[in-house]
Homo-oligomer: A and B are copies of this chain.
Amino acid sequence: MLGTGLIGLFYTATLHGGRNRDRVHLVYSRSEERARAFADEHGVPNWSTDLEEAVSHPEVDTVIVGLPNHLHEEAIELAARSGKAILCTKPLARSAAEAKRILDTVEQAGVFAGYLEDLCYTPKTLKAMKMVQGGSVGSVTWARSRETHPGPHSAWFWDEQQAGGGAIVDLGCHCIEIVRNFVGKDNRPLEVVCWTDTLVHPISAEDNAIALIRFESGAIGQFEVSWTFRGGMDLRDEVAGTEGTIWLNHFLRTGFEAFTSGAGGGYVAEKAETESGWLFPVGDEVAELGYVDMFADMFDSMDAGRQPMETFYDGYVVNAIIDACYRSAESKRWEPVELEDWRGAGVERIGRERREHDGKTVIKQETMPDGRLKLILKDEETGEFVDVVTEAETPVGA
Contacts and interface: CB of A to CB of B under 8 A. Distances in A.
A195 to B, nearest CB: 5
A148 B19 contact: no
Interface in A41-97: none
A244 B222 contact: no
A19 B131 contact: no
A200 interface: yes
A124 B210 contact: no
A342 interface: no
Interface string A279-310: 11101100110001101100110000000000
A54 to B, nearest CB: 23
Number of copies: 4
Given A18-B292, A230-B259, A254-B255, A195 B193 contact: yes
A228 B141 contact: yes
Contact of A153 (B228, B258, B262, B366): B366
Which of A232, A255, A259 has the most C-beta atoms of chain B within 10 angstroms of its own C-beta?
A259
A22 interface: yes
Interface in A114-138: 122-124, 126-128, 131, 134-138
Contact of A19 (B230, B281, B296): B296
Interface string A148-182: 10110111101101100000000000000000000
Given A155-B385, A247-B256, A273-B277, 18 more contacts: A20-B21, A124-B283, A127-B256, A135-B263, A135-B264, A138-B264, A144-B224, A201-B364, A228-B240, A229-B245, A230-B241, A230-B261, A243-B262, A245-B258, A254-B255, A276-B277, A284-B287, A287-B292
Interface of A: 18-22, 122-124, 126-128, 131, 134-138, 141-142, 144, 148, 150-151, 153-156, 158-159, 161-162, 193, 195, 197-203, 208, 210, 212, 214, 218, 220, 222, 224, 226, 228-232, 234, 240-250, 253-268, 273-274, 276-281, 283-284, 287-288, 292-293, 295-296, 299-300, 331-334, 350, 352, 354, 361-364, 366, 369, 376-378, 383-387
